[in-house]
Amino acid sequence: MEIISLQYPVASSEPVHSALPKAIAIGHFDGVHKGHQNVIRRCVEAARSLGIQAAVMTFHPHPKEVLGQGQQYVTCLTPLEEKVERFRSLGVDLVYVVRFNKELAGVAPSQFVETVLRPLQVRHAVVGFDFTFGAKGSGNADKLRELCEPSIAVDIIEPLTLQGDKVSSTLVRESLASGRPEDARQLLGQPYSLYGTVVKGEGRGRTIGFPTANVEPDDAYVIPRQGVYAIVAEFDGTTVPGVLNIGVKPTFHEHLPKPVLEAHLFDFNGNLYGRTIRLQFISFLRPEKKFGSVNELIEQIHADAQQARSVCAAHK
């Protein structure tokens, strides 16, 4: 799969105007949830039926972050590298990563079609029903179809719903913020996960019989609600269940500047310092709380670990 970075305006001399015709799915696609997957799969199907390339156009950073429309969009469900890998798994041949800036934000819908899509030899475009583009979101999916006719076919994918709710990146974020990773998994089609590096912590876990890996996220991920989770950790081709606490350790600290992710991996005694580890969030067990004594905390950790083992066993 080829990855090409673009910045608007695209100079005609740049080697991005592939002479090969293509079908293209357009969107930010944070999370690559089941609704996004429907858009991308339709693009791949169209490309295969026409005998042309299947491409995705995604924007980086998030348009709402650039336009100051939401501080929450500084964080992401899938950093760019992970998002691209998910595109690959869906059968995409080519990914255009478009640098979103205020100049691109001010482009009229007709300019976007004429100066971006047509030069890229797009023959078929696929977007979600709520797709917007152009200055101040003045273009929508129907407008895209109107502007592309007759030389570019446009498919508009209807919303996907689960239990009456529209599948969306916002709903995934809300599920994680509420401590409902099971719901996030239903929306994403896989457990929500993040990658991080194991760093040195306070070393207290080992002294109470529960050594932990302190995980520093490798990107600006959406961090789920503070509390205790059943998790599955992946590193070096190994998969290990465990229990994770996200929080500020109130039993030991009056104040920490930010939540810490501490994972205790079951039946594992190796050294993980400096390694990259992937944490999959399986189930929320309980909120973080302050205990009256270290012994009370140890007793609760035993209970958390037992419950997490059961949850992870059922998850298999």
The whole-number average pLDDT for the span 208-229 is 91
What are 256-287's pLDDT values in tens digits?
667 899 999 999 988 899 999 999 999 999 99
Using CA atoms, how far apart are residues 37 and 124, in angstroms rounded to an integer? 17
Q: What are phi and psi of 228, to 5 degrees?
A: -110, 135
User: What's residue 207's pLDDT?
Assistant: 60
Tell me what pLDDT residue 254 has: 57
Q: In terms of pLDDT, which residue wins out, 249 or 240?
A: 240
Tokens 């080992």 belong to 206
SS3 content of the chain, % helix, strand, coil (to 5): 30, 30, 40
pLDDT at 291: 81
Record the pTM: 0.90
For residue 214, pLDDT beyond 70: yes
Question: Which residues are paired to 243 by β-bridges?
Answer: 230, 264
Question: In this structure, are residues 23 and 50 in contact, taking their beta carbons and an 8 Å threshold?
Answer: yes
Q: Produce one character per residue of 183-212: b if its CB has 16 or more CB atoms within 10 Å, e if not.
A: bbbbbbeebbbbbbbbeebeeebeeeebbb
Q: Is the peptide bond before 15 cis (omega within 30 degrees of 0)?
A: no
- 203-211 contact pairs (CB < 8 A, 24+): 204/252, 205/262, 205/264, 208/294, 208/297, 208/298, 208/301, 209/298, 210/264, 210/298, 210/301, 210/305, 211/264, 211/269
Neighbours of 281 (CB within 10 A): 23
Selected residue with higher pLDDT from 193 and 105: 193
CA distance 287 to 4: 43
**Domains along the sequence of the chain with CATH:** 2-159 (3.40.50.620), 166-315 (2.40.30.30)
pLDDT value at position 13? 43
Q: How confident is the model at residue 199 (pLDDT cuts 50, 70, 90)?
A: very high
Q: Token pair for residue 114?
A: 């004429």
